Structure 1
Amino acid sequence: MNSFWIILTGSLVAASCGFLGCFLILRRMAMLGDAISHAILPGIVLAFLFSGSREILPMLMGAAIIGLITVFIVQMLHQSGVKSDAAIGVTFTALFSVGVVLVSLYTQQVDLDLDCVLYGEIAYVPWDTWQFGGMDMGPRALWGVGGVFLFSLLIIGLFFKQFKLCAFDPALAAAIGIPVVLFHYLLMTLVSLTTVAAFESVGAILVVAMLVVPSATAYLLTDRLHIMLFISMAVGVLSAILGYFFASWLDSSIAGAMTAVAGLLFFLAFLFSPRHGMISKMVARRKIHIGEA
């Protein structure tokens, strides 16, 4: 039963991150997801200090607020003439450093340490359960990640056309009256919520991989957004399942093995994608040369 909870939680984390990662990839904002996943650390710590608990709701609120502040600072610096990559690097390192200092100063006596935040340990998920009305409702991480995933699916589903147009052509979206800035911040809010919900199971570093790798794999395999979303979720789930059994076989880190499998799937797509794969392009060029000869 523990294996089932671990695989299910890992699958939800990978699918939810991969789902939102598609929009980050299309908007060339993958590293902004990296920035948010690190910069929300002070939000988590401040939420814990104010609430006095590690319940998911105050953590989500703290993460969402700091995530929006991160996006606002990056946007402000970029509009002031700072290059986008430099603005992202300065913002997330500064905020993450503040979070590290807060963790070391105020959370030494509780289970909120840097190893948990940075690396996570999905193997502990089955033992950290949510009690409601005296009943054991299952792993707390599962409810947090699952709830945020359903919320993301609802928001993206309701405004799919707007998110799609903002991703492919923000200038056209603004011209026809779509509030591009609003949907930009809404997407970043969803990324912030998903990141903090996944913190306890995979940690900040591996969340970044799940935000980028499954969606990048899907990007190589299709040119249609709705298919890309499904492929990214499928790649994430497959990475979680195969990664768990790979880690069990090697007796190694489960979350690390899941990410390694995701990287392997990306490499296979990079080589064998029908349209964008390296080998497919080599075969196509060879056919052209043979035809010309």
Structure 2
Amino acid sequence: MSYESWILIVGSLAGITCGITGCFLILRKLSMLADAISHTVLLGIVLAFIVSQSMSGVYMLIGAAVVGLLTAVGVQMLHQAGIQEDASIGVVFTFLFAVGVILITVFADDVHLDVDHALMGEITFVPWDLVQWGFLPELPKAFLMLSTVLVINLVIIGLFYKELKITSFDPQMAAAIGIPVLLIHYLLMGLVSITTVASFDSVGAILVVAMLIAPGASAYLITDKLSIMLLLSALIGVAAAVIGYYLASWLDVSISGSMATINGIIFALVFLFSPTKGLLSKKISMKRLKMD
């Protein structure tokens, strides 16, 4: 497979994996928690390296999942103690990310891991970073990690679809009918964490946040049905990855930055022209009401 094809495939996989997971963050009004987790997983990656002395994907996923859950628990505890949720996210996110940066400097200074790489990723290196899993031929590590995490996400969402749906739309009713709301919340945070670290190495924290939020937010403005929202967010994530890559090639700029930019442009277009929730359609509806 060609160099260009692998970049497009990995970018599309990141768009699908982040897009479907981010839908639930949008519905739960936890968009900024995605930003927090996408940065704090850096601490999990560094701790996994310190313990294992390996940059293996399995260790990184475990470390990221643990620190992602720690982030969610910390935010939840501070919020329950009376601190505003946005302030709770800001305190936990900056503290854990700063600790991760310090640990990189102290323990991983000679490893292919730095703050710039963490923020922007290195998707151009994806086709050359090959690993072999079992009987499979050598394949890009990012492709294998994202494929694995996408399967995990689809299985978990499929198994707990009803619980995720009810707790996202009406957590009080979910608790009343016996659904463990907090457990489902932390399960979702675990999915966000492993999704983030699977995308982290190739596309970086900035694009992870864009892909977690923008496709889901765009889909939310188009449909009121969760299943359609999940499908649309995946399609939008793929479209942003493909268009962003060719835009970056044309302008000779950052691929991850271009993909994030296209996500923003798609959201802006949907925000303006969505047939039901778009700004223009709302203004037209208001004019019609006034005329009537």
How far apart are residue 290 of structure 1 and its match? 3.1
1:219-265 CA-to-partner distances (Å, cap 9, x unmatched) read 10001111000000000000011111111111111111111111111
How far apart are residue 133 of structure 1 and its match? 5.7
- Separation (CA, whole Å) in 1 of partners of 2:272 and 2:95: 38
Q: Secondary structure of 1:220's partner?
A: helix
- Separation (CA, whole Å) in 2 of partners of 1:84 and 1:168: 18
- Separation (CA, whole Å) in 1 of partners of 2:204 and 2:227: 28
- Separation (CA, whole Å) in 1 of partners of 2:35 and 2:281: 31
The residue that corresponds to 1:94 in the other structure is: 95
- Separation (CA, whole Å) in 1 of partners of 2:47 and 2:13: 26
Q: Secondary structure of 2:275's partner?
A: coil
**Aligned partners of 1:42 and 1:66 also within 8 Å:** yes
How far apart are residue 105 of structure 1 and its match? 1.1
- What is the TM-score when the length of structure 2 is the normalising length? 0.97
- Separation (CA, whole Å) in 1 of partners of 2:21 and 2:134: 33
The residue that corresponds to 2:61 in the other structure is: 60
| Distance of aligned partners of 1:60 and 1:285 in 2 relative to their CA distance in 1, 3 Å threshold | same
Give, as a single letter, the amino acid of the residue that structure 2 aligns with 1:173: A
The residue that corresponds to 2:46 in the other structure is: 45
- Separation (CA, whole Å) in 2 of partners of 1:262 and 1:71: 26
The residue that corresponds to 1:260 in the other structure is: 261
1:129 aligns with 2:130: yes
- Separation (CA, whole Å) in 2 of partners of 1:279 and 1:177: 42
The residue that corresponds to 2:219 in the other structure is: 218
The residue that corresponds to 1:188 in the other structure is: 189
Alignment of 1:85-164 (within 5 A): 85-132=86-133, 136-164=137-165
**Aligned partners of 1:120 and 1:201 also within 8 Å:** yes
How far apart are residue 134 of structure 1 and its match? 8.8
How far apart are residue 61 of structure 1 and its match? 0.5
1:31-58 CA-to-partner distances (Å, cap 9, x unmatched) read 1111111112111101001111111000
Q: Which moved more, 1:55-64 or 1:114-123?
A: 114-123
- Separation (CA, whole Å) in 2 of partners of 1:77 and 1:142: 37
Give, as a single letter, the amino acid of the residue that structure 1 aligns with 2:237: G
- Separation (CA, whole Å) in 1 of partners of 2:115 and 2:78: 28
1:284 aligns with 2:292: no
- Separation (CA, whole Å) in 2 of partners of 1:85 and 1:166: 20
How far apart are residue 115 of structure 1 and its match? 1.5
- Separation (CA, whole Å) in 1 of partners of 2:137 and 2:94: 39
Alignment of 1:77-88 (within 5 A): 77-88=78-89
Give, as a single letter, the amino acid of the residue that structure 2 aligns with 1:175: A
Gaps of 5+ in 2: none
- Separation (CA, whole Å) in 2 of partners of 1:137 and 1:242: 27
Give, as a single letter, the amino acid of the residue that structure 1 aligns with 2:247: F
Give, as a single letter, the amino acid of the residue that structure 1 aligns with 2:31: A
1:148-195 CA-to-partner distances (Å, cap 9, x unmatched) read 011000000011011000000011011111111110000000000000
**Aligned partners of 2:207 and 2:259 also within 8 Å:** no
How far apart are residue 14 of structure 1 and its match? 1.1
Query: Percent identity of the aligned residues?
Result: 54
- Separation (CA, whole Å) in 2 of partners of 1:187 and 1:12: 19
Give, as a single letter, the amino acid of the residue that structure 2 aligns with 1:64: A
| Distance of aligned partners of 1:134 and 1:278 in 2 relative to their CA distance in 1, 3 Å threshold | closer
The residue that corresponds to 1:36 in the other structure is: 37
Give, as a single letter, the amino acid of the residue that structure 2 aligns with 1:253: S
Q: Secondary structure of 1:40's partner?
A: helix
How far apart are residue 135 of structure 1 and its match? 6.5
**Aligned partners of 2:121 and 2:201 also within 8 Å:** yes
**Aligned partners of 1:129 and 1:136 also within 8 Å:** no
Q: Secondary structure of 1:207's partner?
A: helix
1:229 aligns with 2:230: yes
Give, as a single letter, the amino acid of the residue that structure 1 aligns with 2:223: T
The residue that corresponds to 1:240 in the other structure is: 241
In the alignment of these two chains, the number of paired residues is 291
